[in-house]
């Protein structure tokens, strides 16, 4: 069985310990690319930070 590779970091999906064990995360960039758990978490964090900036948080 082919092991899914994350196009973002080149690692296995969902992670390097258990490649192909279950679905990875869906990229928030295009909503169709499957990425690894780490990248999914990172994208979610980036979106969170971006939304905070857009809402004016941290600006003076």
Q: Which residues bind Zn ion (CB under 5 A)?
A: 6, 8-9, 36, 39
Q: Which is nearer to Zn ion, 34 or 53 (CB)?
A: 34
Smallest distance, Zn ion to C-beta of residue 12, A:
9
Q: Which is nearer to Zn ion, 9 or 44 (CB)?
A: 9
Q: What is the 3-state secondary structure (H, E, C) of 23-53?
A: CCEECCCCCCCEECHHHHHHHHHHHHHHHHH
Q: Which is nearer to Zn ion, 23 or 52 (CB)?
A: 23
Give the pair of three-digit tokens for residue 20.
Answer: 């192909």
Q: What are 12's strand-pairing partners?
A: 5
């Amino acid at each position: 069985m082919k092991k899914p590779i994350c196009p973002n970091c080149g690692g296995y999906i969902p992670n390097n310990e258990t490649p192909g064990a279950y679905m990875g995360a869906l990229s928030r960039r295009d909503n169709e690319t499957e990425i690894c758990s780490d990248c999914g978490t990172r994208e979610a964090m980036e979106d969170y930070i971006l939304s905070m900036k857009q809402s004016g948080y941290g600006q003076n």
